[in-house]
Structure formats: C-alpha cells, structure tokens
Amino acid sequence: MGLDLSSDVVALTQAVVDIESVSRDEQELADAVEAALRRLSHLEVTRIGHSVVARTDLGRGERVVVAGHLDTVPLNHNLPSRNDGERLHGLGTCDMKGGVAVALRLAHDLTEPVRDVTYVFYEAEEIDDVYNGLGIVARERPDLVEADFAILMEPSDAVVEAGCQGTLRVEVRTRGERAHSARSWRGSNAVHAAGEVLRRLEQYVARTPVIDGLEYHEGLNAVAISGGVATNVIPDECVVTVNFRFAPDRSESEALVFVQEFFDGYDVVVTDSAPGALPGLQRPAARAFVEAVGGTVNPKFGWTDVARFTGLGVPAVNYGPGDPMLAHKQEEFVPLAQLRECEQTLRTWLGAVPQAGEAGA
C-alpha cells in the first residue's frame, strides 16, 4: 500500500494507521515510508532494518531531528481507523502515527527549511530496548542522529513535554518449601510470603520532585505476580514483578539502590532499566522551540527516546498530537485539529510557512 505524502495530514494519518505495524511486524509500513521518501530528491534516505532516516543537506547552521516510531502495541479490536469529523480513532492514532504523519508531511513539503532536518522513522519502540530501532541506528550509524536539537513526536496534547522519567523493572522473589497441600504445615508457602511485598507497595508514598519548575510524580507498582507448582502443592517460590518510574533527577544506580532498600530482606533481580532525561530547558535550542510553540511546558510522565537523545548529547523534547493518557488504550484517538496545529507549528518553526490553499495548511 502506497503513501501519498502530498495529501492532507488527516488523510495521511489515516493511511499510516491502516497499515498494521505491531512491534516486530513493521516491514510493510517501513517499506511504504521508504518508498515515499525516496521519491523526494531533496532528501538523502537510509534504511536500517525497519527504520528509515531521511535528511536534508543544505549546509544550514543548525540541524534538528524530528523522530517518531512506526510500531504500535497489539491490536485490541481497533482497526481499521474511523474518522468522525473531529477525531481519528484507531490503533496508533495517538501513539504515535499522528506524529509520524505530521513528520512525513514536513519531509515532503520542506524542500528549503532554514534548519537542516533529519527525519527518523524507527521500529520497535514499544518493546524491549534491545530491539529499539533508534538505538540500533545510533549504534550502527551515529552520524545519522547527530544534531543540535531533537523533537520526539510522541503524543503531548500539542504542547511541549520536557524530559522523561526513568524506568526500572525488577523481580522480587520470595521462597518457601514444597509440601502436599493436605499437609501444608510440612512446608512453607512462598505465595503467602509475598503478602509482605504487596503490603510494602500499598504503603509506598510517591516522591514528587520539582525540576526546572516542573513537578514529576514517581511510581512504584506491582505489575505482575507468578507462583505455584500444582493445585495440590504448597509453592516454594513466588515472583512479584515491580516497575519503578523514577524522576529524572535520579540516576539508574540511585533508583536501584532505592528499590533494593525498599525491599530490604528480599531477593531483588533487575530485568530492565532505562535512564530518565532532565528537562534541559536552559539549552538555547530548547528555549527557542518552547517559545515558538507558545511557552507552555509539562513534565513527561513515562519513558521516551528523549532519554536516548539526551544520552547522545542532543537536547530533546516531546511534542506531538494526541493525549498521552490515551496511549495504549483501546479507545485511543487523535483530534484532527491537533494534527493540523502540530504540522503548522513545526512548519513555521522550521522556516517554511505554507501558502494559502497548500495541502496540509
């Protein structure tokens, strides 16, 4: 299925949404994006796996990355998309194919931007970090993501969301001794022992630090629990999986120390970890962009690849259409007005205001 990048941003979003691209199954959409971008003579296009990078090379004094992931979470009876005249409903409309479509429109139209632009459309953001396409591009071709500033088109209700929280996932394990359930006193029940782990979590009080004037809200939650051998056996092991979303003023090592101390006395094993990113609003490029989009800034709750750019030394913010609270929900949607607003704002900031009647205006 081909993509017409000259079409209105709403129509383009709908076309992108209707190409199913659950994580690890992005090839069809990546092929369509690559084919459409290779038709544009003002861009240099590179394909790595199922990620596509397109760059202007005009010798401008500043380079900006505009990035978005192509994948979605699994289907939940929410495809094909549906346009009700005010909102586009369907899988990925909010997270984050609306943002991808905005970037594709800009890539098509901005042949002479005042800033050089690198557009990155990447695979596998919604799953384990080892598959993340932006990470793979950064490792294999770091030159492709060098920039002065980066904009992640993650849903942010069309306002800037600065920084992002870090994430740490651990397994908290309790141990017991197997026995026949008819003679339970001969063993020790590891599932019962997990009750204390859950009680500690119930009593957790979230920390809410203020960083660069933005209030972040940490969270420590059980997200899964497993245990049991058979219905007539006292279990000798139980595992509670806990996710810690920590504010960006903590490092990964500091977050781990907090969790280990919180679960003192228990076996704690790390299964996944990613750093947060400080807002960085004092950086000139970030300040200029915030001013260009109206001056409103919110903290980012959750992890995004803003943290990856920060690690690469590139200041970055989240800015895109859609309410982040709808991400991953069955009923997700993106307001049509926000698609047009984000396109127009970025078009203006990148230095090429469309003429009256131009597609996407």
Region 317-333: mean pLDDT is: 94
Collapsed DSSP state (helix, strand, coil) of residue 48? strand
pLDDT at position 357 over 80? no
Q: Which fold has domain 9-164+277-349?
A: Aminopeptidase (3.40.630)
24 Cβ contact partners less than 8 Å away, ≥ 6 residues apart: 71, 123, 124, 127, 131
State how far the Cα of 361 lies from the Cα of 347, in Å rounded to an integer: 9
Count the helix, strand and coil residues of the chain and give each as a percent rounded to the nearest 5: 30, 25, 40
Omega of the bond prior to 324 within 30 degrees of 0, cis? no
Q: What is the pLDDT of residue 236?
A: 97
CA-based nearest residue to 322, from 102, 18, 172: 102
CATH of domain 166-274: 3.30.70.360
State how far the Cα of 249 lies from the Cα of 262, in Å rounded to an integer: 18
Tell me the pLDDT band of 359, cut-offs 50, 70 and 90. Answer: very low
In the chain, ranges of CATH 3.30.70.360 domains: 166-274
Which residue spans within 208-358 are E strands per DSSP? 210-211, 214-215, 219-227, 233-234, 237-246, 267-274, 297-299, 316-318, 333-335
CA-based nearest residue to 270, from 283, 280, 279, 257: 257
Indicate the pTM of the whole model: 0.83
CA-based nearest residue to 121, from 155, 144, 140: 144
pLDDT at position 352 over 60? no
pLDDT at position 360 over 50? no
State how far the Cα of 13 lies from the Cα of 113, in Å rounded to an integer: 23
**Each residue's pLDDT tens digit, 122-154:** 999 999 889 999 999 999 999 999 999 999 999
Residue 89, sorted as left (phi over 0), alpha (psi -120 to 50) or beta, turns out to be: beta
Collapsed DSSP state (helix, strand, coil) of residue 12? helix
In the chain, ranges of CATH 3.40.630.10 domains: 9-164+277-349
Region 205-215: mean pLDDT is: 93
**Each residue's pLDDT tens digit, 27-47:** 999 999 999 999 999 999 999
**Each residue's pLDDT tens digit, 237-256:** 999 999 999 999 999 999 99
Region 1-29: mean pLDDT is: 96
Residue with tokens 């970030």, as numbered in its chain: 286
**Each residue's pLDDT tens digit, 256-313:** 999 999 999 999 999 999 899 988 887 777 888 888 888 889 998 888 899 999 889 8
**Each residue's pLDDT tens digit, 45-98:** 999 999 999 999 999 989 999 999 999 999 999 999 999 999 999 999 999 999
Active-site residue list: 71, 125
Omega of the bond prior to 325 within 30 degrees of 0, cis? no
